[in-house]
Amino acid sequence: MSEPITSVADNILNVENIRKDFPVLTQIVRGKPLIYLDNAATTHKPSSVIERISKFDAEEYGTVRRGAYKLSENATQVYEESRQKVADFMGAEKKGEVVFTSGTTQAINLVAHSFGKRFVNAGDEIIISNIEHHANTVPWQVLCEERGAKLKVIPVNDAGELMIEEYEKLLSSKTRMVAINHVSNALGTINPIKEIIEKAHAVGAKVLVDGAQSIPHMKVDVQDIDCDFYTFSGHKMYAPSGIGGVYGKMDLWEELPPYVTGGDMIMQVTLEKTTYAKPPARFEAGTPPITQVIGLGAAIDYLNAIGLDKIADYENTLLEYGTRLFNEIEGVRIIGNAHHKASIISFYIEAAHPHDVVTLLDQDGISCRGGHHCAQPTMIRYGVPATTRASMAFYNKPEELDALAESVKKCIRFFSA
Ligand code: PMP
């Protein structure tokens, strides 16, 4: 007899202890204990992050980079310590290679705008894939329209995997940028990012990796994969919303013009001309979200204390268990069955629209996402208007997936009646 799932999971990490760190998880929703399975949209914060933010705001808050007084000096120091934590977490060589933005969306817009202005011209080509978030689609479409460049798209197979042999055919000396997610938010596919980057570099193209869904769930090493840019969002990694950023190779940052202009990004301003600060300041105009940056540093401390390898192992166990449960439910089609997947199960029930499914799940205290997940081209590819998505974090328990499966069965009975 195979070992029960709870003991397999317990051998990796003690989820009951972990759950004590997340105050929100004790909530009762519609008379039932909250089962939170929308972690790909946003994650909850452990007490250590909440307490760090609160202490910073109560006792340490000050503006950064400008003041020559104690509060400002201290705030600047902890702000820059957070940048170092992010750099170490991603495996960046230099702290200054990390530029803070409000999140992945702004990070991709920054790169599309600045890189595009400097390096993309009429006749050039940009490559994305058929399973990108709109945040990694629209900025490149706009750039191509503005510069007279062409957008090319890597197709996916029925399992949700990129067709690498088709990608190879799209690459040429005209390719300036390959912009690709590490993990698809709609399907959970983990893309073979190192191989994709190697092939792009072989034709002289740069690579931006949208890491919004990977950074919180697996160990990432930007130097090892050799990407040119790598983006992330704090609110998907147990940190506050309103903060995120992008790693970029320093020699590339140095060549790029600013995106947003104003205070703090300058070297000198006269009424005739402005010279720009060095990166990362060149790309961080205005007063940044200071408290959120401190919270991000605390979230990284928390993740490091557990260990990304353990987190990945545990979440993988949840994924395998949930997939098994869903495969046994008649009337459920899992969209996205890639060989390498992160802890996301996207599914479709013929009997009901995902919006109705999630409304019923909510009656059982279960928070799932129903919609196109800002990936409409992906929905079109799989012939569905939307999916219901359960996305797991390391604070989820196998028992919660049992409850989800029961609730989905109830839902199918209800809509088929
Ligand atoms: N890319 C991916 C893969 C995502 O999942 C998301 C968020 N759902 C984004 C980009 C956009 O991130 P944000 O809304 O934090 O800017």
- Arithmetic mean of pLDDT, 55-75: 93
Pairing of strands 175-181, 206-210: parallel
223-255 pLDDT per residue, tens: 999 999 999 999 999 999 999 999 999 999 999
At residue 172, the 3 state secondary structure works out as: coil
CA dist., res. 244 & res. 237, Å (int):
10
Of 191-200, 296-305, 350-359, 360-369, the range with the lowest mean pLDDT is 350-359
Pocket test for ligand 1, best of 233, 236, 246 (most atoms within 8 A of CB): 233
CA dist., res. 220 & res. 182, Å (int):
10
CA dist., res. 143 & res. 377, Å (int):
18
Look at the chain and report how many structural domains it folds into: 2
Query: Does residue 65 have a pLDDT over 90?
Result: no
Query: Does residue 69 have a pLDDT over 90?
Result: yes
Q: Is the dihedral of CA 183, 184, 190, 192 positive or negative?
A: negative
pLDDT given for residue 39 in this prediction: 98
Of 60-69, 289-298, 399-408, the range with the lowest mean pLDDT is 60-69
Q: Is residue 133 part of a domain?
A: yes
| 233 CA closest ligand 1 atom index | 15
Q: Which residues line ligand 1 (CB under 6 A)?
A: 40, 103-105, 133, 135-136, 181, 185, 210, 212-213, 233, 244, 374
pLDDT given for residue 417 in this prediction: 80
At residue 174, the 3 state secondary structure works out as: coil
One domain, residues 189 and 287: yes
pLDDT given for residue 10 in this prediction: 80
One domain, residues 311 and 298: no
One domain, residues 19 and 29: yes
Q: pLDDT confidence of 8, banded at 50, 70, 90? A: confident
One domain, residues 94 and 160: yes
Length of the chain: 417
Pairing of strands 344-349, 332-334: antiparallel
Pocket test for ligand 1, best of 105, 193, 209, 389 (most atoms within 8 A of CB): 105
Query: Does residue 409 have a pLDDT over 80?
Result: yes
One domain, residues 281 and 311: no
- Arithmetic mean of pLDDT, 211-216: 97
pLDDT given for residue 6 in this prediction: 75
Q: pLDDT confidence of 67, banded at 50, 70, 90? A: confident
Which of 271, 305, 339 delimits the end of a domain? 305
* 110: amino acid identity, one letter: L
Pairing of strands 387-391, 344-349: antiparallel
List, as one string, the DSSP characters of 128-145: EETT--GGGTHHHHHHHH
| Residue 28 belongs to domain with CATH number | 3.90.1150.10
- Arithmetic mean of pLDDT, 164-183: 98
Q: Is residue 199 part of a domain?
A: yes
Query: Does residue 1 have a pLDDT over 60?
Result: no
pLDDT given for residue 416 in this prediction: 86
Contact of 5 with 12, CB cutoff 8 Å: no
- Arithmetic mean of pLDDT, 47-71: 94
One domain, residues 18 and 91: no
One domain, residues 281 and 406: no
Residue 148 CA, ligand 1 centroid: distance in Å:
26
Which of 305, 326, 356 delimits the end of a domain? 305
CA dist., res. 47 & res. 69, Å (int):
30
144 assigned to active site: no
Largest CA distance in the chain: 78
Of 4-18, 89-103, 212-226, 394-408, the range with the lowest mean pLDDT is 4-18
Q: How far is CA 324 from CA 14, 44, 203, 307, 327, in A?
A: 22, 26, 41, 26, 5
Query: Does residue 397 have a pLDDT over 80?
Result: yes
Express as a percent the part of the chain with pLDDT over 90.
95
95 phi and psi angles, rounded to 5 deg = -55, -40
CA dist., res. 359 & res. 54, Å (int):
34
Q: Of residues 144, 227, 368, 374, which has the active-site annotation?
A: 374
- For tokens 């050799």, the residue is 226
Q: Is residue 293 part of a domain?
A: yes
- Arithmetic mean of pLDDT, 35-52: 98
44 phi and psi angles, rounded to 5 deg = -90, 165
104-148 pLDDT per residue, tens: 999 999 999 999 999 999 999 999 999 999 999 999 999 999 999
310-357 pLDDT per residue, tens: 999 999 999 999 999 999 999 999 999 999 999 999 999 988 999 999
One domain, residues 95 and 207: yes
Q: How far is CA 41 from CA 102, 186, 238, 388, in A?
A: 15, 10, 11, 13
| Residue 286 belongs to domain with CATH number | 3.40.640.10
One domain, residues 289 and 393: no
Q: What is the DSSP letter of 38?
A: B
Q: pLDDT confidence of 2, banded at 50, 70, 90? A: low
CA dist., res. 113 & res. 282, Å (int):
14
Residue-number span of the structural domain to which 128 is assigned: 50-305
Taking CA 277 as the corner, what is the angle to CA 98 and CA 295, rounded to the nearest 5 degrees? 35
Query: Does residue 66 have a pLDDT over 80?
Result: no
| 241 CA closest ligand 1 atom index | 15
102 phi and psi angles, rounded to 5 deg = -75, -10
